[in-house]
């Protein structure tokens, strides 16, 4: 663990360096407030700082205030070293953002105990950050399939469309709907239905490129976002998804249940400014066509054609 020691008195500084190294810490030292501040701002810098009160550059309390004013992801635990024993000074130091203080002269056992207390706080903080990250990730996922949920895949599509606008690249969109899923559920039960959904996801993922995103759009509907894929490439990708599923039979006891999927796709046109909604509606229209034609197939609808179909016809 990295610990910053900022102390302008060279003898004191060396003593701290030697002691802390012996205790197993990786010591970063500074002899003035400005160097200390630079070390704290390094990538993966120390998150425990022992700061002398009186130093050139920034004082310990000034440095504490700087640390607290920055919006760092990780908390920095601050121990102030002070020769001052008056209550007002101690209050000032704590109010500036220090977590703890040690009055000089101090014994090393006490310093060790104060650092241990700091490590406990930092450990709790680390657990909290991890839990928050896990929650954030979970909020973006569909609980059953762990695919992106509807809201997140919309955000992804929106982000891809904005990136595509800047780079002049197309974005492909595929909507996919499991065929006769209601009958699968009714015949074999919902537990098997969930199993079918999970197997479907595996098949779809195996047929996508790593840079593609896939989300659960609704019950048995999925949406794939394909960066840098034009219309023809999106059709090929949709066909790969269809084949990946059609070549898989899902076992239910001694039965083998054939599962197929209907797909509809479209792609943005580089340079044109399509809304996310218009692309989704074009893909949905194509998906509807696949179902109308008997399912287990791919239909595609160019977005400009779809837009033209929306315009009132001049009489
Ligand atoms: Mg000093």
Q: Which residues form the catalytic set? A: 220
pTM strictly above 0.75: no
Q: Which residue has the tokens 């229209």?
A: 285
pLDDT category at 87 given cuts 50, 70, 90 is confident
User: What's the pLDDT score for residue 272?
Assistant: 85
Distance CA 20, CA 17 (A): 5
What's the chain's average pLDDT?
93
7 CA distance to ligand 1 middle (Å)? 6
Q: What CATH number should be reported for the domain whose range is 150-310?
A: 3.30.70.270
Q: Report the pLDDT value the prediction gives residue 12, as an integer from 0 to 100.
A: 94
Distance of CA 227 to the CA centre of its chain: 19
Q: What number of other Cβ atoms are within 10 A of residue 56's Cβ?
A: 11
Closest listed residue to residue 62, CA positions, set 99, 93, 101: 93
Distance CA 217, CA 152 (A): 10
Token duo for residue 21: 């190294």
pLDDT at 243 over 90: yes
**Ligand 1: distance of its center to the CA of 53 in Å?**
6
User: Which pLDDT does position 301 carry in this prediction?
Assistant: 97
The string of pLDDT tens digits covering residues 147-201 is 999 999 999 999 999 999 889 999 999 999 999 999 999 999 999 999 999 999 9
Distance in Å, CA 23 to ligand 1 centroid: 23
| Banded pLDDT at 83 (limits 50, 70, 90) | confident
pLDDT tens, residue by residue, 10-25: 999 999 999 999 999 9
| pLDDT at position 235 over 70 | yes
Q: In what order do the strands lie in the sheet with 48-52?
A: 26-30, 2-6, 48-52, 77-82, 100-103
Common-topology check for domains 2-136 and 150-310 = no
Summarize pLDDT for 208-228 with one digit per residue, the tens: 999 999 999 889 999 999 999
63 by DSSP, 3-state: which? helix
Centre of ligand 1 to C-alpha 71, Å, is 27
DSSP designation for 312: P
Give residue 51 CA to ligand 1 midpoint distance, Å: 9
Closest CA to 63 of 18, 105, 8: 8
CATH architecture of 2-136: 3-Layer(aba) Sandwich (3.40)
pLDDT band at 284 (very low <50, low <70, confident <90, very high): very high
Percentage with pLDDT > 70 across the chain: 99
Extents of the domains making up the chain: 2-136, 150-310
The CA distance from 1 to 48, in Å, is 9
What's the half-sphere exposure (Cβ side, CA atoms, 13 Å) at 144? 19
Q: Is the pLDDT of residue 205 over 80?
A: yes
pLDDT greater than 70 at residue 313: no
CA end-to-end distance (rounded Å), the chain: 77
What spacing in Å lies between the alpha carbon of 9 and ligand 1's midpoint? 6
């Amino acid at each position: 663990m990295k610990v910053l020691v900022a102390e302008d008195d060279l003898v004191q500084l060396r003593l701290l360096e030697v002691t802390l190294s012996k205790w197993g810490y990786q010591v970063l030292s500074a002899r003035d407030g400005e160097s200390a501040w630079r070390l704290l701002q390094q990538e993966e810098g120390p998150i425990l700082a022992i700061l002398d009160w009186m130093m050139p550059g920034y004082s310990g309390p000034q440095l504490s205030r700087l640390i607290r004013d920055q919006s760092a992801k990780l908390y920095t635990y601050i121990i102030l070293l002070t020769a001052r024993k008056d209550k007002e000074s101690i209050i000032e130091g704590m109010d500036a953002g220090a977590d703890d203080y040690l009055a000089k002269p101090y014994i090393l056992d006490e310093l060790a105990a104060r650092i241990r207390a700091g490590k406990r706080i930092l450990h709790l903080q680390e657990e909290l950050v991890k839990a928050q990250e896990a929650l954030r990730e979970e909020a973006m996922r569909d609980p059953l399939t762990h695919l992106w949920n509807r809201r997140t895949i919309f955000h992804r599509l929106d982000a891809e469309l904005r990136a595509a606008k800047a780079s002049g690249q197309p974005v492909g969109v595929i909507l996919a709907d499991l065929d006769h899923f209601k009958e699968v559920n009714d015949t074999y039960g919902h537990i098997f239905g969930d199993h079918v959904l999970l197997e479907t996801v595996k098949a779809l993922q195996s047929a996508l490129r790593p840079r593609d995103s896939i989300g659960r759009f609704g019950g048995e509907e999925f949406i794939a976002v394909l960066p840098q894929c034009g219309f023809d490439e999106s059709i090929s990708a949709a066909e790969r998804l269809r084949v990946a599923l059609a070549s898989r039979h899902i076992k239910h006891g001694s039965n083998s249940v054939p599962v197929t999927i209907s797909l509809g796709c479209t792609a943005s046109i580089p340079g044109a400014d399509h809304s996310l909604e218009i692309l989704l509606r074009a893909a949905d229209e194509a998906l509807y066509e696949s179902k109308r034609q008997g399912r287990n197939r791919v239909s595609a609808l160019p977005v400009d054609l779809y837009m033209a179909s929306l315009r009132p016809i001049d009489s």
